[in-house]
Amino acid sequence: MAVEILESCMVTPGEATPSHGVWLSNLDLLVARGHTPTVYFYRPGPGTAVFSPAVLKAALSKALVPFYPLAGRLAQDGAGRPEIHCTGDGVLFVTARADATLEDLGGFTPSDELRRMLVPSADGGDRAGILAMFQVTFFKCGGVCVGAAIHHTAADGLAALDFVNTWAVIARGVSGEAAPRPWLDRTLLRARCPPVVHFDHAEYSRRGGGSKTAKVPFDSAILPMSKAQVDALKAGGAGGKKLSTFKAVVAHVWRCACRARGLAGTEDTRLYMTADARSRVRPPLPGGYLGNAIFRASAVAKAGDVVSEPLDAAADRVSGATARLDDEYVRSLVDHLEQVVSDAAGLRKGEWVMPETDLWVISWQGLPVYDADFGWGRPAFMGRACLQFSGLVYLVPGPDGDGRLDVVVAMEPKSLARFKELFYDELS
């Protein structure tokens, strides 16, 4: 498939915006130092209505007024600590045309090719430090892809979705639909002085690490689960105990991965999970918090125990890892990171090689991933354009809110085929 660039321009805030630096929290500094590439696919709709680049650019300009830090640039303060300079320089907006139909893609499985064709890249030059980039690609069938790349240091998944969905509300122009205003102050997650660390934050150590350049080759796949399959898994607890969707699916994925990879029973396997601090801290972070409130938690066990125990035992391990994540845990973590953030290279997500014994699960359950209706309907699919490393797993709800779930997985090629077999064998 060939993609032709029709237009590439900067879109700036539609009004004058404040010019200042935005302090970044330790959670901002320990996420992947790069753009998160996502894709929204829209199927051809009835009638002749088509996506209008002019409407999208005008709405984007308006959305950047309250979200003005995203129109700035990633830079450093006087002490060399990264911060956002609110310059109003704008975001990249690209219009493109593909010589193919959506069906020609053969599905929306994440890949480097999907990212290269449909999501802009920051390749230096006038894009150095840019925080947000978008590409609208028109397909021969009338379908459209909106590719987004928002810098992870500037926004986590929920904050990025808040921006894209605000842009969509403005583009839709529906009266009475007020776009929420973002909360820009990140000092709510500032470390205490002096730091007080009460927990062992093993997820932010260099344990099991490898060199940044020695990444394990991997393939990606999307494994759809029907509501009936999810419900059957949730009912798999001992004594009729019903498990939550997250705990049941994560436990199932963990068990299948240990088996597919052929791990020795005596090997340690660590399951990383991404948690959200917004509702865990006291008081909770304000709605619309623009920044990173996500952090890592983990459970560790012998691979032999994970595969031999019943599903609810693995689910209990997941539960034990997440139950303690309260306000004091988050504050302790932020204080711990204060002591290591000056030498954070290798600690950020994607900067170390996760051993083949481990998994990292990120859940998008409950996130408004399908709310980006720009006036031409909701997306038929939304997801990552590509995955970062082997062992990364995303749980993504279906577009219709009917209980379906996509398990998006990156794994070593030799293990992925076996993982797929085990994944569905255990569900039947």
> Is 152 among the residues known to form the active site?
yes
> Is 336 among the residues known to form the active site?
no
User: Which of 35, 151, 152, 201 is an active site residue?
Assistant: 152
Quick check: 9 and 133 in contact, CB under 8 A? no
Helices 245-260 + 413-425 axis angle, to 10:
130
Distance CA 286, CA 36 (A): 23
**Looking at the annotation, which residues are catalytic?**
152, 373
